[in-house]
Amino acid sequence: MGILKSLNREQREAVGLLQIGTFLEYFDLMLYVHMAVLLNELFFPKTDPHTAALVTAFAFCSTYVLRPFGALFFGYLGDHIGRKATVIITTTMMSISCALMANLPTYAQIGITATYLVTLCRIVQGLSSMGEIVGAQVYVTEITKPPAQYPAVAFISIASAIGSILALGIASLVTHFGFNWRIAFWIGAGIAVVGSVARTKLRETPEFVDMKRKKQIEIEQQEKNEGRRINKFEIIKKRIRQEKIIKETFAFYFLVNCGWPVSFYLAYMYFNPLLKETYHYSSEDIIVHNFLISIAAFVFDSLWSLLCYTIHPLKILKGRGLTFLVFAVFLPFMITQTTHPFQLFGIQVFLLAFSLAQMPAAPVFIKSFPVFKRFTATSFTYAATRALMYIVTSFGVVYLTQGFGHYGLWILMLPITVGYLWGVRHFERLEGLRPDKPTPIKEERVLGKAA
């Protein structure tokens, strides 16, 4: 493949190791998400349908609500200690939480304590995942150059999709053949350990090492001029604080990141009650249904990842966003007209195929932030938007559809899609893809001069 040939051996090895780690970690993270229809019955009290919907929303959001704190912590580690150490730590945390979950007693055994414990494990998994995919994307961005950079970083997202597919596959086997569900989490724990060990072979990114070297040279020169030793750590922290993130770009990046949670929740969660109540799907049937959806979504993600080698990724995002906007307008009508689960399957696949995701343009966004604040800025935005939007979407959908039926989706989908397209438009200007508008100076160049 031409994409791989354009990378040297060390780059290909790094991309491969990061893909393996991301695949393994997302297998663990998504295992509970896709088995939620079964596990929520084991770890949460049985209630009326409305309360059950709120409990399900709570269980889903528990993975994401504290992610911003994890982003700040792991972002600090990634920007001060290094990219490599951070991705190893997060994978280890995931393996520990997965092993704990495999041994948790159920609600029938210890009551509400089971609910608290499983929620705590999900929070730990959510925190650890923060330094995972973002760390891998930052790492690959810093060791590659366009155009190979775009698909190379996109392959990280593809690896997470494969992890999710495998999680659904294991969930399907466990539920359909009557295996103990704990086996799936023991498999996940073992897989995460393999990912941690594999990542010890990574080297720190040259761009990060180069920036630290330049800071070190500046400190040594300052010591020579002043004739005394100075606190190097405090000087480095001061220089890092001097690097500024432009608020406008941060805001537009935030808008772009708000899109994916809506796409994901609607595709995988929204239609589950409809499948149960209208088409009499069991929990096991829904897991298999979602497994097939994830395979179809993987095919489209792979297509976008290959196309971005020849088509600028921001153009791909704009095309997807416009298509999603038109689809959102007609979505309530289509849902009310469905008469077969295969029609719902098509709607769900379309929501993921043209999702409001940042893949394959992640490197464009990452490079818009200074090196020593890049990990923190991107991971915090990633975490904050998912914590906010998963809460808004999961709880909002319950009340919006209760009051307006499927048409309540407009209140959520239309403004989010418009904001997503507005954000993409901003980065098109930064990349010089809008000749009709003045192109501002690229931020990393301004920051580079300041540093």
Confidence category of residue 114, pLDDT binned at 50, 70, 90: confident
Q: What is the reported pLDDT for 288?
A: 82
Whether 135 shows a pLDDT value over 70: the answer reads: yes
Residue 434 and residue 425 in contact, taking contact as beta carbons nearer than 8 Å: yes
Going by C-beta distance under 8 Å and a sequence separation of 6 or more, which residues neighbour residue 61? 387, 390, 391, 394, 395
Confidence category of residue 447, pLDDT binned at 50, 70, 90: very low
Which residue's entry shows tokens 């920051």?
447
Q: What is the reported pLDDT for 206?
A: 65
How far, in Å, CA of 63 to CA of 58, rounded?
9
How far, in Å, CA of 168 to CA of 170, rounded?
5
What values do phi and psi take at 109, rounded to 5? -90, -45
Going by C-beta distance under 8 Å and a sequence separation of 6 or more, which residues neighbour residue 448? 370
CATH code for the structural domain at 2-204+243-450 = 1.20.1250.20
Whether 257 shows a pLDDT value over 80: the answer reads: yes
Quote the pTM value. 0.75
Q: Among 402, 377, 149, which Cα is nearest to 244's?
A: 377
Confidence category of residue 450, pLDDT binned at 50, 70, 90: very low
pLDDT tens digits, residue range 150-168? 999 998 888 888 888 887 7
Specify the amino acid at residue 392: V
How far, in Å, CA of 360 to CA of 317, rounded?
8
pLDDT tens digits, residue range 170-228? 777 776 676 677 777 787 777 667 766 766 766 666 666 666 666 666 666 666 666 66
